[in-house]
A and B are shown apart, each in its own frame.
Chain A
Amino acid sequence: MIKKNDIIICVIVAIFCIFSAALIFSLRGTPAKVIISQDNTILHKVSLYENREIKLPHNTVVIENGVVFISEADCKNQICVNTPKISKDGEQIICLPNRVIVEVSE
């Protein structure tokens, strides 16, 4: 059934996961800003601790008490709306149809 090299593959994948997670956590700074970009062009760069609602052509981004989420989107899959709220450095909400990234940054 399950053979020797299967275990080795699993161990390698597990090490890769732990290593990459450790790298990302160690590079994490104090969250301070919210960056909203499209195609790597920054549309908005605002404070994470200032409550506001930002209307984009296809999405509405809400910043509320240090957490960010997308409250509305005009696409049919609504993946960005259903993404859990973000608050830590490096966390993102991605809207694929409109190529928008909302990111918490230092």
Chain B
Amino acid sequence: MKTKRLALYSMLVVASLAFSYFETFIPTSALLPGFKLGLANLIILLLLSHDDIKGAFAVNATRIALASLLFGTPLSFLFSLLGGTLSTAIMFFAKRIKDVSYFGIGVLGGVAHNIGQLIMAVITFKTFSVLTLTPWLTLLGALCGAATGFIALLLTKNKHINKLFIK
């Protein structure tokens, strides 16, 4: 890996970690237990916009590992990892759909993240009763995904930001 690439990934990990830290100050848990905005999704969308799927997975996994060590628990690590990986994979495939912008990709990513968390909840609690949260998690995931997707849509049009990602 080129040194420049390594520096870019390190910077992106720190930026997404800062998003994760920032989210701990917003009392979104009052709305739905454990619910977070998912601002770090912006970084993943930027990496995906340059077709860097490996970078997206690497940055996301590193961010989740560090965030869980700093502000989470071992279980929250598994929840975030499944949600984040599923969301990145879905967004990668969503990019291949014709006539879709980062807005739609963000919505799918947000929903996929929360579906991933629900799957993890079913495995952890060994019961399907947690699935009663499905509509709320889908709705909130879609709203937050739409917001981050829309910001990503604006950012990918910025040539100074795009220059950073060129291999």
A residues with CB within 8 A of B: 1-6, 8-10, 13-14, 16-18, 20-21, 24, 37, 39-40, 75, 77, 79-80, 82-84, 90-94, 96-97, 99, 101, 103
Interchain CB contact under 8 A, B153 and A9: no
Contact A97 B130, CB 8 Å, known A5-B99, A13-B107, A13-B142: no
Beyond A6-B107, A82-B30, is A17–B101 a contact (Cβ under 8 Å)? no
Interface residues on B, range: 35 or more
Does chain A have a CB within 8 A of B97? yes
Choose among B29, B75, B100, B134 the residue that contacts A20 (Cβ–Cβ < 8 A). Answer: B134
Main SS at interface, chain B: helix
B residues neighboring A (CB under 8 Å): 27, 29-30, 33-34, 73, 75-76, 79, 97-101, 103-104, 107-108, 111, 121, 124-127, 129-130, 132-135, 138-139, 142, 146, 153
User: For residue A2, which residues in chain B have a CB less than 8 angstroms away from its CB?
Assistant: 101, 103-104, 153
- Judge whether B107 and A40 touch: CB under 8 Å: no
Judge whether B108 and A21 touch: CB under 8 Å.
Answer: no
Whether A92 contacts B132 in the complex (CB less than 8 A), given A9-B107, A17-B142, comes out as: yes
Given that A17-B139, A79-B33 are known contacts, is A10 also in contact with B134, CB under 8 Å in the complex? no
A96/B76 contact (C-beta < 8 A), A40-B125, A84-B30 known = yes
Which residue in chain B gives the minimum CB-CB distance to A96?
A: B75
**Which of A9, A80, A94, A99 is packed against the most chain B CB atoms within 10 Å?**
A9
Q: Which of A10, A39, A96 contacts B34 (CB 8 A)?
A: A96
CB pair B103–A16 under 8 Å, yes or no, is: no
* A residues less than 8 Å from B138 (CB atoms): 13, 16-17, 20
| Contacting residues, chain B, for A21 (C-beta < 8 A) | 135
